[in-house]
Structure 1
Amino acid sequence: MLIYGRNPVTEALREGRVEEVLLAHGVEEAFARQLRALAEQAGVQVRQAPRIELDQLAGTTAHQGVLAEAEELSWSAPQAIWDLAEQRGEAPLLVLLDGITDPRNFGAIVRSAEVLGAHGVVVEERRSAPLSAVVAKTAAGATAHLPLVQVKNLPRFIEEIKAQNVWVYGAAGEAAQPLERTDLSGPVALVVGSEGDGLRRLVRERCDGLVSIPVRGQVQSLNASVAAGILIYEAARRR
């Protein structure tokens, strides 16, 4: 697959997933030197090209002057989440996405989850944006460090993790229970639904509780990625 953006390409080089790098003419020398050093360590060729060539290949001008041909992003096995939590000596913190089909929202949530210390992001096979260059770019390299898991049935997966003593809380604007009064200190999964429809009925019914983020303005809803970031931060802060 083609990936673009400085952080995604840099992380892919460090992970050994890159086959070739294209660097636009005119990119500042400090970044070019850093990129070439990483590419040399990985045994990868760096080819300079006109910026318009990168525009055409990426289908956007937002590539930050670098593009790479890399191995496809792949989903992790669910066990990777538990392994990461055990490796860190922490109670598992999962982020479950129900119907996040916008790749930029998906990527932004992955970035927040990785930065704030979650152990994995879980999506349902038919109700999620696919792993793509846009997701990788928006996630700013976080896809290389965080387990991303795809399951066939999210409600069933919720039942499975509840059996492992994970408390599951769904985000719902109308919920009476505010986020700050919710115990997020132990093993927790936070469920975020789509902006248009929120959580599906089957997902809501399987949550241990629904929580809301208090808002003060006239607009009564948050962007899904922003809401996810607040939820993850609050859970991380309690730890």
Structure 2
Amino acid sequence: MKKENKIFGIYPVLEALKSDTVLDKLYVQKDIQNPKIQSIVDEAQATGTTINEVPIEKLNRLTRGNHQGIVAITSPINFPSLEATVEGVLAQNKTPLFLVLDQISDVRNFGAILRTAECTGVDAVIIQKKGGAPVSGDTVKTSAGAIFSIPVCKVDHIKDAIFYLQGSGITTLAATEKSNETIYQKNLNQALAIVMGSEGKGVSKSVLSLVDDSASLPLLGSINSLNVSVACGAFLYEVIRQRTL
């Protein structure tokens, strides 16, 4: 288990990049002109680190030391590759269950989803490198530590993950209120990856156009949507129900 830490200053951040330290976010002073910082940014981007250009006041709040215009936040976990993870799960000769999160941005939802995923035996959670909730100390807290018990794979694009899963013989099923069929009408006792969308927009149109199938949850009240972590729990427990009949 690793702690989330702040690393600041040009040379400490550079050394962290050269080591096995996984950086989750990099905060860089806006409009700073420093070739060493630019080389760090270029290298960090290549590893999928989220880069944020911020005013110097933000950096001053993050640390009281001499940050030299750059502060890195380390990730509390490592991220296995999607390919190695999927191959490892398929080699176990079991019915795999993956969870794909398309731009979940709220850290509390993310943590709650990880907790439910661990409780329901999800083999791995797949997220996009950019645009989603950070894997931070808050994620650890809201997941009740589940983040240390389930692989989290980062990919450049969710669409690439969908293609790879499909090519590996895994059915992709999107959760969307736009579907005319409910989750209870689907066969979930097969190699499966459930795709959950963002809090505001749901599963993106580009991803919906690629998945094998989609399903909704019945909504009997006047509100037309559920919290994404609640909806995810309903989907995952229907998988468990079908697989344990």
User: One fold, TM greater than 0.5?
Assistant: yes
Q: Does 1:216 align with 2:220?
A: yes
Structure 2 counterpart of 1:216, which letter? L
Partner of 2:115: 111
| Unmatched segments (≥5 aa) in structure 1 | 4-69
Displacement of 1:117: 0.8
Separation in structure 2 between the aligned mates of residue 82 and residue 234 of structure 1, nearest angstrom:
25
Regions of 4+ moved over 3 Å: 84-87
Partner of 2:236: 232
Structure 2 counterpart of 1:186, which letter? Q
Separation in structure 1 between the aligned mates of residue 237 and residue 90 of structure 2, nearest angstrom:
17
- Against the structure 1 CA distance between its residues 73 and 158, is the aligned structure 2 distance closer, same or farther, given a 3 Å change threshold? same
Separation in structure 1 between the aligned mates of residue 176 and residue 4 of structure 2, nearest angstrom:
36
| Unmatched segments (≥5 aa) in structure 2 | 6-73
- Against the structure 1 CA distance between its residues 172 and 144, is the aligned structure 2 distance closer, same or farther, given a 3 Å change threshold? same
Equivalent residue for 1:177, pick from 172, 177, 181: 181
Partner of 1:155: 159
Equivalent residue for 1:187, pick from 185, 191, 198: 191
Q: CA RMSD in A?
A: 2.0
Separation in structure 1 between the aligned mates of residue 124 and residue 240 of structure 2, nearest angstrom:
13
Separation in structure 2 between the aligned mates of residue 104 and residue 123 of structure 1, nearest angstrom:
15
Separation in structure 2 between the aligned mates of residue 157 and residue 122 of structure 1, nearest angstrom:
8
Q: Does 1:83 align with 2:75?
A: no
Q: What's the TM-score once normalised by structure 2's chain length?
A: 0.66
- Pairing 1:1-239 to 2, within 5 Å after superposition: 1-2=3-4, 72-78=76-82, 79-84=84-89, 86-87=91-92, 89-239=93-243
- Against the structure 1 CA distance between its residues 157 and 71, is the aligned structure 2 distance closer, same or farther, given a 3 Å change threshold? closer
Partner of 1:13: none
Displacement of 1:128: 1.2
Separation in structure 2 between the aligned mates of residue 71 and residue 199 of structure 1, nearest angstrom:
26
Separation in structure 2 between the aligned mates of residue 105 and residue 147 of structure 1, nearest angstrom:
17
Separation in structure 1 between the aligned mates of residue 140 and residue 87 of structure 2, nearest angstrom:
23
Separation in structure 1 between the aligned mates of residue 102 and residue 170 of structure 2, nearest angstrom:
18
Which range moves more in the overlay, 72-81 or 106-115?
Answer: 72-81
The total of aligned residue pairs comes to 173
Q: Percent identity between the aligned chains?
A: 31
Partner of 2:19: none
Separation in structure 2 between the aligned mates of residue 224 and residue 128 of structure 1, nearest angstrom:
14
